[in-house]
Amino acid sequence: MEKEYKRLMKRCISLAKKGMGRVSPNPLVGAIIFDDDFRIISEGYHQYYGGNHAERNAVLSAGEDLKGKSIIVNLEPCSHYGKTPPCADLIIEKGIKRVIAGLIDPNPKVAGKGIEKLKNAGIEVITGVCEEECLQLNKIFIKNQIKKAPYITIKTATTLDGKIASSSYNSKWITDEVSRNEVQKLRNQYDAVLTGSSTVIKDNPSLTCRLKNMRNPVRIILDTRLTVPFSSKVYNDDGTRVIVLTGENTPSNKIKACPKNIEIVKCPLKDNKINLNEAVKILYDMGIKSILAEAGAQVNKSIIEEKLADELIQFIAPKILGDKSAVSFVEGFRRNKIAECNNLNIVSTKVLKNDIMIVSRFSE
């Protein structure tokens, strides 16, 4: 039975992923209704923010009486009214006898209340199936709920010797087209992509998601003195939200000269640069729940030093620059002993066409 639960939970997770890029700030959720022979009756997933939850979609797509059936879901069914009615109430109403949940909802409005309601109605509840996979799936939502802060991932593309550009700042292309396509998928998964003014000036990136049927993330530029030319691609008025974080002492006449499609946000400074700790709090209050940092060595260094990074995704190409003056993906701090290094835990590794993709999580 445990084996069957795990099989179905993995299917739930696959269903939930279909909502990537569309459900934020809600969690990714999939649900499957099945009978005692583990025959799947119906499936559903949370498709977009404000839409039906996964459990309700699974119920609506079922073509038979659900009394005595079971439902498996990667996150505890909600017990409160939000954009939609409580899923726990719907499960009780339909006479479902068993609920298998991968994870207790960290949302204080739920946090075990859905399970308690189900149990009080005489429904058997099983939790913790594929818990680690369920945690990884909703890592963004979990951090949002527990720490009230955005989930921040640093993305890099490096040579084998850890360089993101040559000493003349040439960086196109270190990784191949397959790796760059993976980056497009990542952009769809995050609320926003963040970079620094130096990267925009040197590389003039678009920071868009160029894959079909996927949305562009919010573009965030750290520009302490508003030095980025207005002709830069990141400023294109393509309907995407653009936020520029600038210093609190930036002159008003400079701000007034900015294109109308840009949101200018003044931030406190630290060592004459944007105070990232304060900036991240401001962004969270502006609705930015997850950030993919695609920046240069100094911004990466600041994010790591301020302990703001949750994850590091490295695309490593089988190339060697061998130039000590070439640009590393992080620069500006020095560890004198190996024991002083920042420690990360590898979450996954994936061999692409020519490159390797490594996902690591920063230790608490």
Active-site amino acid positions: 55
Q: Which residue in the block uniquely carries the two structure tokens 């009080």? A: 120
Task: Go through the chain and tell me how many residues it has.
Answer: 364
Sequence-distant (≥ 6) Cβ neighbours of residue 262 within 8 angstroms: 235, 242, 243, 244
Which amino acid, 363?
S
Torsion 171-172-178-184 (CA) sign: positive
119, 276 Cβ separation under 8 angstroms: no
* 10: three-class secondary structure by DSSP: helix
Regarding beta strands 327-328 and 163-165, do their DSSP bridges make them parallel or antiparallel, or are they unpaired? antiparallel
Give the 3-state secondary structure percentages of the chain, helix then strand then coil, rounded to 5: 30, 25, 45
Contact present, 167 and 327 (Cβ < 8 Å):
yes
**Distance (Å, whole) CA 202 – CA 171:** 10
Tell me the β-bridge partners of 155.
Answer: 313
Chain centroid, CA 272 distance in Å: 29
CA proximity to 20, closest of 145, 184, 131: 184
Pick from 216, 190, 221: nearest CA to 204:
221
Q: For 208-222, b where at least 16 C-beta lie within 10 A, e where not — what string?
A: bbeeeebebbbbbbb
